[in-house]
Amino acid sequence: MSDQIIRVDMTHQTVATEPFPEAWKLLGGRALSARILLDECDPACDPLGPDNVLVIAPGVLAGTSAPTSGRISIGGKSPLTGGIKEANAGGNPGQDLMKLGYRCVIVKGQPADRDKRYGLEADANGVRIVEADAYKKLWNYAACEKLYEKYPKSSSFLTIGPAGEMLLTGASIACTDEKGHPTRHAARGGLGAVMGSKGLKYVAVDPGKSSVRQPAVRKDFFAYAKEYTKAYQAGPQMFKVGTSSVVPIANMLNTFPYKNRTEGQSPDAATLDGARIVESFETRGGGMHNCMTGCIVQCSNVVNDAEGNYKTSALEFETLTLLGSNCAIASWEDVADLDRLCDEVGLDTIETGAAIAILMDSGGMEWGDAEGAKRLLREVAEGTELGRAIGSGAVATGKKRKHARVPVVKGQALPAWDPRPLKATGVTYATSPMGADHTAGLIVNPGLPPEQFAQASQEVQVVNAACDSSGFCQFLQPTCEDIAKYYSLFTGDDVTREQIADIGWQCLQDEWAFNDRAGFKPEDDDLPACLREEGVGPNHAMKFDVPREIIEQARKQRFAAREELYKLKATG
């Protein structure tokens, strides 16, 4: 069977499949989502209304034997930013959809009864909408446990928690990992609320005994995958013990925000350091694992409690920063509890940590009150007034508290990587179609001269867009040449590095065009005053003082000749 698109109409409760266009065969993940949204979604629509489009798109190489290649992109108009959004996740749903030959799922419309819940199930026998009221308001872990009572153990799931059902704009979409835990989240931009607005509680994918996708040039593809894996495993493996290991370096660089970004270093860095998590493995169990079938990075840590019982996975740098240091919460164990609660309720840990810090900064909660923060996340699930504000993110919390220091770009909270010491990353936050999102183009080079900010930002944005379209994990750090060779061997066509760069560049062009039509203006491409006026580091001297001319230069490069970008080397 040829590759297919699944089209779901939630208004009329219908499902149809159609052939995947041959012209799109090199499009997957983020690039495919951007193309569909620009073609089929009105950028001026209500993000939580029937006209928004939810796109679920695995990367091109998902379902193959290429290493760490099964990531999935979720796309739609963001209810948080009002612009286009792609949120990328690991787990097994991307692999499983592609094994069944489904290149993407396009969900439109809205059920007449907004209180009803539905599931979408895909397997070797086809695709169906089913009633799912039995899962209403269930937290993600409980929902997945119940789903595994109904579906085969070979299944994987995308689910939303109560936050998504309540249409809170900080809501995430959970993807199950190899153990069936809903721990890999397409978290940024509030796309869980978009899924909730469609009445979808879950998507169940059962590949059954479907084999991996077969490449056109079998022998060479498998040989290259083996060679590539061997070379990666012989290398430095930057995230051998997870991203939490970055804490000491980030603290040194003044990009470990403390107390709603009023400082760049935390006095509690030692007790938030990922080394403490690794030390716990010896007495509590847990350890490192891969979040998806075929992953060779294995950056995901499994965190157990003091009695050796599973608690959460993975406790990453971003979460330790935003829910830990940024809220003056000192213990990684408290952050692990908060991480589990966010996964359960279905919330972006970055957006939620930023919102809680704003609450604390405005006097609504004591700094460092970990138990209060845990109660607050339970309030999100209960739908209290304050809980709904926190679950709707930083801007909503700032408005409720009438607080001025709200570090967001295009309505989305900044991740851990601070733009004051990392100014080129700040240019990415300002100019990316995604708003403040480190995965759009992170540049950890505090010594980069200003005249290189714009070009460096645009280059890394292009490569990361191409990577997110391929299905590869950014931590694998594939180059455009790597992706081109995999595509060539898989399709049997001669795919060049220039074509891969062009896919990334066109993806950005589509996303920028969507945002322009949604009403974004040049003045939206900037960072908030609190980051331009308030500094971190020695004497608080590090500020985002990048002139508007440099940001304008980056904007103008949207229309530059693509050839200028073909010198790209690797992901950021």
The model's pLDDT over 518-536, given as tens digits with 9 standing for 90+, comes to 999 999 999 999 999 999 9
Answer yes or no: CATH 3.40.50.1580 is held by domain 236-404: no
Beta carbons within 8 Å of 34's beta carbon, 6+ residues apart: 75, 84, 86, 507, 510, 511, 514
- Residues 296, 292: Cα–Cα separation, whole Å: 9
Torsion angle, CA of 311/312/315/319, rounded to 10 degrees? -100
Contact 60, 29 (CB under 8 A): yes
- Two tokens, residue 381: 């699930």
Given CA atoms 231, 470, 192, 13 in this order, what sign does their dihedral have?
negative
> Hey, what amino acid is at 494?
D
On the question of pLDDT at 561 being above 60, the answer is no
- Say whether 98 sits in a helix, a strand or coil: helix
- Say whether 467 sits in a helix, a strand or coil: helix
- Residues 144, 181: Cα–Cα separation, whole Å: 7
Average pLDDT over residues 66-83: 98
Architecture, CATH, for domain 4-205: 4-Layer Sandwich (3.60)
| φ, ψ at 475 (rounded to 5°) | -70, -20
Which residues of the chain are in CATH 1.10.599.10 domains?
423-565
Question: How far lies 183's CA from each of 348, 352, 494, 550, in Å?
Answer: 11, 16, 37, 38
Instruction: Annotate 197-236 with DSSP letters as a single string.
Output: HTTEEEEEE--TTPPPPPPSSHHHHHHHHHHHHHHHHHS-
On the question of pLDDT at 352 being above 50, the answer is yes
Contact 164, 80 (CB under 8 A): no
Average pLDDT over residues 252-257: 98
- Say whether 412 sits in a helix, a strand or coil: strand
Beta bridge partners of 536: 542
Which residues of the chain are in CATH 3.60.9.10 domains?
4-205
- Residues 10, 94: Cα–Cα separation, whole Å: 22
Three-state secondary structure string covering 293-338 = CCCCCCCEEEEECCCCCEEEECCCHHHHHHHHHHHCCCCHHHHHHH
Three-state secondary structure string covering 338-371 = HHHHHHHHCECHHHHHHHHHHHHHCCCCCCCCHH
Quote the pLDDT of residue 353. 98
- Two tokens, residue 503: 């896919």
- Residues 209, 548: Cα–Cα separation, whole Å: 55
> pLDDT-based confidence at 245, cuts 50/70/90?
very high
- Say whether 520 sits in a helix, a strand or coil: coil
On the question of pLDDT at 565 being above 70, the answer is no
Which residues of the chain are in CATH 1.10.569.10 domains?
236-404
175: part of which helix (H) or strand (E)?
Answer: strand 173-175
The model's pLDDT over 403-449, given as tens digits with 9 standing for 90+, comes to 999 999 999 999 999 999 999 999 999 999 999 999 999 999 999 99
Tokens 């909660």 label which residue? 365
- Residues 201, 117: Cα–Cα separation, whole Å: 6
- Residues 67, 228: Cα–Cα separation, whole Å: 8
Closest CA to 60 of 18, 104, 92: 104
Quote the pLDDT of residue 559. 57
On the question of pLDDT at 567 being above 80, the answer is no
The model's pLDDT over 212-235, given as tens digits with 9 standing for 90+, comes to 999 999 999 999 999 999 999 998
* Burial of residue 306, with CB atoms counted within 10 A of its CB: 0-12 exposed, 13-18 middle, 19 or more buried: exposed
Beta bridge partners of 85: 76
Tokens 């213990």 label which residue? 331
Contact 313, 303 (CB under 8 A): yes
> pLDDT-based confidence at 238, cuts 50/70/90?
confident
Answer yes or no: CATH 1.20.120.530 is held by domain 423-565: no
Closest CA to 471 of 457, 483, 484: 483
Quote the pLDDT of residue 566. 46
Beta carbons within 8 Å of 538's beta carbon, 6+ residues apart: none
Half-sphere exposure of 430 (CA within 13 A, CB side): 32
Between helix 497-518 and helix 480-491 the angle, nearest 10°, is 100
Distance of CA 77 to the CA centre of its chain: 15
Give the chain's radius of gyration (CA, Å): 22
- Two tokens, residue 67: 């290493």
Contact 302, 244 (CB under 8 A): no
DSSP assignment, residue 21?
A: P
Above pLDDT 70, what percent of the chain? 97
- Two tokens, residue 221: 């593809």
Closest CA to 41 of 55, 25, 20: 55
Above pLDDT 90, what percent of the chain? 94
Contact 197, 164 (CB under 8 A): no
Q: How many other C-beta atoms can be found within 10 angstroms of the C-beta atom of residue 364?
A: 18
The model's pLDDT over 379-409, given as tens digits with 9 standing for 90+, comes to 999 999 999 999 999 999 999 999 999 999 9
Kindly give the pairing relationship between strand 126-131 and strand 156-159.
unpaired
On the question of pLDDT at 570 being above 70, the answer is no
> pLDDT-based confidence at 555, cuts 50/70/90?
confident
The model's pLDDT over 292-348, given as tens digits with 9 standing for 90+, comes to 999 999 999 999 999 999 999 999 999 999 999 999 999 999 999 999 999 999 999
DSSP assignment, residue 542?
A: B
- Two tokens, residue 269: 């860095």
Q: How many other C-beta atoms can be found within 10 angstroms of the C-beta atom of residue 320?
A: 33
The model's pLDDT over 492-518, given as tens digits with 9 standing for 90+, comes to 999 999 999 999 999 999 999 999 999
Average pLDDT over residues 33-60: 98
- Residues 457, 465: Cα–Cα separation, whole Å: 12
